[in-house]
Amino acid sequence: MQRRIHKKARHFGLDAVQESKGVKRASRMGEYGERVTDAADTAMRQEGWQNLGFAQNRPARPKSSGGFTIVELLIATAVFSLVLMTALAGFLQIGRLFYQGVSSTQTQSVVNQLFQDIVGNFQTAANISSPQNAGGYSYYCIGNSRYTYNIGKKVNLADTPKHAPLAAGGNFGLLKDVLPGATACATPCDDLAGGACPAGAVAFNQPIEILGNNMRLESFNLQQNLSVSPNFYNVSVVVAYGDDELLDFTVANDPSTVFCKGGSSNQQFCAVSRLATGVYRGQGP
C-alpha cells in the first residue's frame, strides 16, 4: 500500500515538475514572442516613419488631367477663329492692293504710251488739226497720224472689232492709223464694212487700238495755245479703267471729271489716269 502511495507521489511529483517546466518554458516562449513582436513593431514603426518622411520630402506629383473641358475647347476655338479671320482679312487686303496696283499701272501705262506717241508726231508734224467731227467720227490729225476716238466707250478686246461710227455700233475706244500720201486730215471710213467710202473719206489704214481691255477714253483734247506761241499746244488725256458701276463724275455729263467711287467690293478693279501738259510743235514738251 505504502509502495503504491510512494509511486503515485513520485509520479505526481514528476508530473508537477514537468508541468512546472512546461509552464516555465511556455512563459519563456511567450516572453520571447513578445520581445520579437515588440522588435518587429518597433522596426515597422521606424520604417513607416522613414517612408513617411521620404514621402513628405518628395515633391507632389501634379494630378493628371483626363482631357480638355468644354470651356477650354470653346476658348481655343474662339481664339483660333479670330486668328484665322484676321489672317484672311489681311490676305484679302493684300489681294485688293495688288489688283488695284495692277489696274493703276496698266491705265497709266496706256496714257504714257499715248502721250509719247503724240510727242513723237509733234516733232515731225507739218500740220496739226483742230478737233474734227465728220461722218459720225471724232478725230485729230497730227501730220499723217490720225487719232479717231469714242468718248466713254468701254473697250472689250474679246468682241469682234467694229470700226463704224459709235451711233452705228462702233466698239473701239481710240484708234490710230496712218493716212496714205497727201490726204490731209480726211474723214475716217469703216475699213471692215467693205464697199466704197464717201467722197473725201479715207478708210482706216490698219488701225491700232491704243486702249487696253476694260478701258475707256473720257477726255482727249489737243488745243493750240496762241497766247504762248503758234507752235504751242495744250494736250490733256483722261483714261478710266473699270465697269460703269465703279465710276462716277464730279460734274454731271462731263466725262473729264470721272473718278472711282468708294465703298465698292470691286474697287480694286477701278483706276483713273490723267495727263495734261504743253507740247511745242517740232520739239518735245
Residue 127 backbone phi and psi in degrees, to 5 = -135, 145
All three cell numbers of 160, joined, read 469682234
All three cell numbers of 205, joined, read 489704214
For strand 187-189 and strand 201-203, is the pairing parallel, antiparallel, or unpaired?
parallel
| DSSP track, 16-47 | HHHHHHHHHHHHHHHHHHHHHHHHHHHHHHHH
Tell me how far apart the alpha carbons of residues 19 and 23 are, in angstroms, rounded to a whole number. 6
Question: What is the mean predicted confidence (pLDDT) over 182-206?
Answer: 90
**This model's pTM is above 0.85:** no
pLDDT of the residue at 233: 94
Tell me how far apart the alpha carbons of residues 131 and 266 are, in angstroms, rounded to a whole number. 36
Residue 90: HSE in the Cβ half-sphere, 13 Å Cα cutoff: 6
Three-class secondary structure of residue 49 per DSSP: helix
Question: What is the mean predicted confidence (pLDDT) over 265-278?
Answer: 88
Residues facing 138 on adjacent strands: 133, 149
Cβ distance 277 to 115 under 8 Å? yes
DSSP letter assigned to residue 1: -
Three-class secondary structure of residue 10 per DSSP: helix
| Domain residue limits, the chain | 91-280
pLDDT of the residue at 58: 53
SS3 letters across 112-141: HHHHHHHHHHHCCCCCECCCEEECCEEEEE
For strand 258-260 and strand 132-134, is the pairing parallel, antiparallel, or unpaired?
unpaired
Tell me how far apart the alpha carbons of residues 142 and 69 are, in angstroms, rounded to a whole number. 80
All three cell numbers of 192, joined, read 471692215
Q: What confidence tier does 26 reach under pLDDT thresholds 50, 70, 90? A: very low
Kindly provide the b/e burial profile for residues 93-113, where b requires at least 16 CB atoms within 10 angstroms of the residue's own CB: eeeeeebbeebbebbbebbee
Cβ distance 259 to 283 under 8 Å? no
| DSSP track, 65-76 | P-S--HHHHHHH
Percent with pLDDT over 90 in the chain: 49
All three cell numbers of 29, joined, read 516562449
Check whether 84 has a pLDDT greater than 80: yes
pLDDT of the residue at 28: 53
Q: What confidence tier does 102 reach under pLDDT thresholds 50, 70, 90? A: confident
| DSSP track, 97-115 | HHHHHHHHHHHHHHHHHHH
The answer to which of 135-149, 165-179, 267-281 has the lowest mean pLDDT is 267-281
All three cell numbers of 18, joined, read 514537468
